[in-house]
């Protein structure tokens, strides 16, 4: 049972890469993060960490494969060492997504608050840490998947981390609404997207 959970998290993380350039399939990211929120809903800290770690291994394993090419083809590193280096690098990055799962599981919260507020906040905190620790590696921050979609409208006021927070919140709404079978979760979901789309068509100040 646990293995299937981790494998589904790994697959969801890998699928989320489709939301970034050049494909830009934003709904795939929403579905992937909604599944992650679902997996975290009832998980203890340990399982939440490893589920988040598996999600991160899928996300970064599929999304930063160019590191292997850089090490082997351009850096001249032997293929086995390049593969090992890429794996360890992805594992380091996945520790941040695992940390987000561990943190949100350590904090008591109602199911709706966890899905829509706590999970997004924990994710963005560790996403910010990943962009800063050891000079930072902000590659595949969730907010970048919103380019060309309604949430992009919030970019001038919220920045990439603000959009990441909104994306994870939307995913949490989908997850909680599906678990509870409550369509009421769709009301704020539609409202956020509508506001973002409106902001996309408002003339932005130029600096």
Residue 148 lies in a domain: yes
Residue 52 lies in a domain: yes
Residue 115 lies in a domain: yes
Which runs of consecutive H residues, i.e. helices, occur in the chain?
Answer: 2-16, 26-40, 45-63, 66-69, 79-106, 111-113, 119-130, 155-180, 186-200
The count of domains in the chain is 1
pTM for the model = 0.93
Cβ-contact 110, 117 below 8 angstroms: no
Q: Give pLDDT tens digits along the chain (207 positions).
A: 689 999 999 999 999 999 999 999 999 999 999 999 999 999 999 999 999 999 999 999 999 988 988 888 888 889 899 999 999 999 999 999 999 999 999 999 999 999 999 999 999 999 999 999 978 899 999 999 999 999 999 999 999 999 999 999 999 999 998 887 777 768 889 999 999 999 988 755 543
Domain around 53: 2-200
């Amino acid at each position: 049972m646990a293995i299937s959970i981790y494998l589904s998290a790994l697959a969801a993380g890998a699928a989320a890469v489709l939301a970034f350039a050049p494909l830009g399939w934003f709904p795939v990211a929403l579905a992937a993060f909604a599944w992650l929120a679902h997996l975290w809903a009832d998980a203890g800290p340990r399982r939440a960490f490893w589920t988040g770690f598996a999600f991160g291994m899928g996300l970064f394993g599929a999304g930063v494969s160019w590191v292997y090419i850089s090490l082997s083809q351009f850096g001249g590193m032997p293929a086995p060492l390049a593969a090992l280096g890429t794996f360890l690098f992805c594992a380091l990055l996945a520790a941040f997504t695992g940390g987000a799962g561990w943190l949100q599981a350590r904090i008591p919260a109602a199911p709706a608050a966890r899905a829509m507020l706590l999970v997004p906040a924990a994710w963005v905190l560790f996403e910010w840490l990943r962009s800063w620790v050891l000079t930072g590696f902000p590659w595949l921050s969730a907010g970048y998947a919103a380019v060309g979609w309604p949430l992009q409208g919030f970019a001038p006021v919220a920045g990439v981390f603000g959009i990441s927070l909104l994306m994870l919140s939307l995913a949490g709404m989908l997850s909680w609404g599906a678990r509870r079978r409550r369509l009421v979760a769709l009301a704020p979901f539609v409202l956020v997207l509508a506001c973002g789309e409106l902001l996309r068509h408002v003339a932005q100040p130029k600096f």
